[in-house]
């Protein structure tokens, strides 16, 4: 069983509640667009939607990257107004903040323009009849994140874009 460190705030894997996870993902991108904040899916979420066509069974969160100052108050305020709780902020290489709602963790990674893998352009991933922005070129991005992204494994990410 995974520890509470991997599953803080009483969260569950998005794969166990895909409709709720889908709604949270859609709402996040609506909020980001309204605030004119560039955002894309990343890490395990990107891998699962691209490679598997859905959420990875053991992945505990929805990973997104925003091109915005760390802790951008506009985004934090909007997510709180939409019922998200705010969890831990991790400084250092990750620079990410946990937001959570309905037992789903939205892991927001903060980046400045030029810091993320090809931030001026995104590939689009089709999932459930919708398109989500992802780093481009996506296969090169996934190769930087995972040793062999084409084969499912428990390998942790080694790249923090």
Q: Residue 81 is inside which H or E element, if any? A: helix 73-81
Query: Which band of pLDDT confidence, cut at 50, 70 and 90, is reported for residue 153?
Result: confident
Cβ atoms of 133 and 41 within 8 Å: the answer is yes
Could you report the per-residue pLDDT of 99-130, keeping only the tens digit for each?
Answer: 999 999 999 999 887 776 655 678 999 999 99
Rounded to two decimals, the pTM is 0.90
For the chain, which domains are there?
A: 11-145 (3.30.460.40)
The C-alpha torsion from 124 through 85 and 83 to 64, rounded to 10°, is 0
- Tell me which DSSP letter residue 155 carries: P
Q: Is 130 helix (H, G, I), strand (E, B) or coil?
A: strand
Cβ pair 54, 62 in contact under 8 A: no
Burial of 35 (0-12, 13-18, 19+ CB in 10 A): middle
139: helix, coil or strand?
helix
Q: DSSP secondary structure string, 97-113?
A: EEEEETTEEEEEEEE-T
Q: What is the pLDDT of residues 18-69, one digit of tens each?
A: 999 999 999 999 999 999 999 999 999 999 999 999 999 989 999 999 998 8
Encode 14-34: b = buried (16+ Cβ within 10 Å), e = exposed: bbebeeebbebbebbbebbee
pLDDT at 80 over 50: yes
């Amino acid at each position: 069983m995974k520890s509470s460190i991997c599953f803080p705030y009483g969260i569950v894997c998005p794969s166990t509640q895909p409709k709720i996870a889908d709604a949270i993902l859609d709402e996040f991108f609506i909020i980001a667009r309204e605030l004119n904040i560039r955002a894309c899916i990343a890490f395990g979420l990107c891998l699962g939607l691209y490679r598997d066509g859905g959420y990875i069974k053991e992945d505990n969160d929805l990973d997104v990257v925003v091109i915005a100052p760390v802790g951008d108050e506009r985004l934090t305020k909007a997510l709180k107004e939409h019922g998200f709780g705010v969890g831990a902020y991790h400084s250092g290489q990750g620079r990410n903040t946990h937001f959570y709602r309905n037992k789903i963790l939205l892991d927001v990674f903060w980046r400045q323009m030029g810091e993320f893998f090809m931030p001026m352009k995104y590939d689009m991933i089709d999932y459930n009849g919708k398109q989500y922005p992802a780093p481009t070129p996506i296969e090169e991005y996934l190769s930087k994140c995972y040793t062999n992204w084409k084969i499912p494994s428990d390998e942790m990410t080694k790249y923090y874009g």
